[in-house]
Amino acid sequence: MSLKLNVIALALLVLFASHANAQVFDVTANGARPNADSTQALLATWKQACASPTRSKVVVPKGIFMITKAILQGPCKAPIEFNLQGTLQAPPVGSGNFKGGDTWIAFDNVNFLTVSGFGVFDGQGSSAWGQKCDHTELCGSRPINIRFDFVTNSIVQDVTSRDSKQFHVNVLGGRNVTFHNFKAIAPGNSPNTDGIHIGRSTDVKILNSNIQTGDDCVSIGDGSKQITVTKVTCGPGHGISIGSLGKYPNEQPVQGIFVTGCTLINTQNGVRIKTWPNSYPGTASDIHFEDIVMENVGNPVLIDQEYCPRNECNLKVPSKVKLSNISFKSIRGTTSTPLAVNLVCSQAFPCQNVILQDINLRSSGSGGQVTSHCKNVKPTVSGTQIPAPCLTTG
Indicate the SS3 state at residue 61: coil
Identify the CA nearest to 43 among candidates 54, 64, 55, 27. Answer: 27
Which DSSP letter does residue 21 get?
A: G
User: Is 197 noted as a catalytic residue in this protein?
Assistant: no
SS3 8: helix
Q: What are phi and psi of 112, to 5 degrees?
A: 55, 60
**Cβ(326)–Cβ(296) below 8 Å:** no
254-260/233-234 β-pairing: unpaired
Give the end-to-end CA distance of the chain in Å, rounded to a whole number.
35
Q: How far apart are CA 357 and CA 360, in angstroms?
A: 9
Q: Are 50 and 80 in contact (CB under 8 A)?
A: yes
Neighbours of 358 (CB within 10 A): 17
- Report the relative pairing of strands 271-275 and 254-260 from DSSP bridges: unpaired
Choose, from 168, 180, 197, 238, the residue flagged as catalytic: 238
Half-sphere exposure of 328 toward its Cβ, with a 13 Å CA cutoff?
28
**Are 211 and 237 within 8 A, CB to CB?**
yes
Quote the CA–CA distance of 208 and 132 in Å, as a whole number: 35
Q: 82: Cβ–Cβ under 8 A, 6 or more apart, which residues?
A: 46, 58, 60, 72, 107, 113, 114, 115, 116, 117
**What DSSP character marks residue 328?**
E
Give the pairing type, strands 239-245 and 216-220. Answer: parallel
Under DSSP, the state recorded for 200 is S
DSSP string, 246-285: SSSTTPPPEEEEEEES-EEES-S--EEEEE-TTPPPEEEE
Question: Residues with catalytic annotation?
Answer: 238
